[in-house]
Amino acid sequence: MNDDSRKKKPVEKRPSALNVVKGVEGGHDGLPGRKAEAPSRNKTEPRQYTTEEYVKGILSGDRVMLGRAITLIESNAPNHQDQAQEVLKAVMPHTGKSVRIGITGVPGAGKSTLIEVFGIYLIERKHKVAVMAVDPSSSLTKGSILGDKTRMERLSQAPEAFIRPSPSGGTLGGVARKTREAMLVFEAAGFDVLLVETVGVGQSEVTVRSMVDFFLLVLITGAGDELQRIKKGVFEMADMIIINKADGKNAVAAEIAREEYERALHYLQPVTRGWATCARTTSALEGKGIGEIWTVIENFRELTKSSGEFDKRRREQTRDWLHSLVDERLRDNFYRAEIIEKMLPDIEREVMEGKLPAVQAAHDLLNTFKNFLIERWTDNNMG
């Protein structure tokens, strides 16, 4: 900040210990907001936290600071993003010690109900459970999330659990980035089981599969041809299939479906090397088969840890993520460059009219972009 801008913005007189500057809003974690640290007459200016405060809060498992750190990560403001990166870098050595579980399935299959009972099962066994969702369609009103909070009533009140709704708005890529970073923060805060629910819209299953160790597909019976109801690709990504609602009149049908799936799975290439995808029945409503989910996951972890597949997958996921971040940034810079914006409509038209080969057009555009970058670099460094 130079002297000029300081003059324009006179510093308000406040008691020195309460020197409050505009910063990140807290209380986004679904908890009632902490009593305001700022003087109550100045509610619009929440306190800004230092990177050290965030890091200390996360590592000590302070829920309120944890919620704030995730809010910081989810913020699109450039200064928040810079600080979020500092926080992430600092907590990096404390991340990785968890099992990351993706959960997908047809709408209404009982994913949220299952997460509630499974989460409770885990915290009763001394685990710390974080629940996240990847839902690029979720709006700012977070309507679907409110529904989930009531479905996860006990879990959302447990101190050993933390439920974080999907970051709202933006592209799937943006939502996924924020969720990945939130996972790291949860791990640093000592959460050892991370559950990521996907709503099963479009590409979101592929994205969630690319950020978890274990992928769980939740299905139900009784609505026509079972195998038709989900995209074949999703079936092939699963490490475990669950036929939920195996209760009451449905119990027998669920067991028959399970056997059918089990048979079908023999013909599929398993998604995780050395692991045979299996099918089980559950009743989230009656709490049946819940322990079996964990047994399967523990077996999975043991097997893939000893074969090296677990760590290999994580390393590859991180590498792929790096590449997709670079791809995204490059594309963004390219399409936002003024010169490209100007050129593109004409070039597109020429390509569409068959006057210019697409390969030549792409070559011209990229060359123009390269020259634009060189010029900019020269201006910045020589000028």
Ligand X SMILES: Nc1nc2c(ncn2[C@@H]2O[C@H](COP(=O)(O)OP(=O)(O)OP(=O)(O)O)[C@@H](O)[C@H]2O)c(=O)[nH]1
Contact string 149-188 vs ligand X (x = CB under 6 A):
--x-------------------------------------
Does 143 participate in binding ligand X (rule CB under 6 A)?
A: no
**Please, are residues 133 and 198 in contact by the beta-carbon 8 Å criterion?**
yes
Does 284 participate in binding ligand X (rule CB under 6 A)?
A: yes
Distance CA 277, CA 295 (A): 14
* Entry field: residues in the chain: 383
**Please, are residues 119 and 155 in contact by the beta-carbon 8 Å criterion?**
yes
Minimum gap (Å) between residue 63 Cβ and ligand X: 24
Of the pair 71, 113, the CB lying nearest ligand X is at: 113
* Interface region with ligand X, contact rule CB under 6 A, candidates 106-114, 162-170, 221-229, 352-360: 106-114
Q: Which of 98, 112, 283, 304 binds Mg ion (CB under 5 A)?
A: 112
Query: Secondary structure of 189-210 in the HEC alphabet?
Result: CCCCEEEEEECCCCCHHHHHHC
Of the pair 113, 156, the CB lying nearest ligand X is at: 113
For 123-147, letters b (16+ CB in 10 Å) and e give beeebbbbbbbbbbebeeebebbee
Of the pair 111, 280, the CB lying nearest Mg ion is at: 111
Choose from Mg ion, ligand X, none: what does 198 bind? Cβ within 5-8 Å by kind: none
Minimum gap (Å) between residue 111 Cβ and Mg ion: 5
Contact string 109-128 vs ligand X (x = CB under 6 A):
xxxxx---------------
* Interface region with ligand X, contact rule CB under 6 A, candidates 18-26, 256-264, 280-288, 344-352: 280-288
Does 202 participate in binding ligand X (rule CB under 6 A)?
A: no
Cβ neighbours, 10 Å, residue 9:
8
- Which strand ranges, in their side-by-side order, compose the sheet holding 278-281? 161-164, 129-134, 193-198, 99-105, 214-219, 240-243, 278-281
Does 244 participate in binding ligand X (rule CB under 6 A)?
A: yes
State the residues that interact with ligand X by CB under 6 A.
105, 107-113, 151, 244-245, 247, 283-285
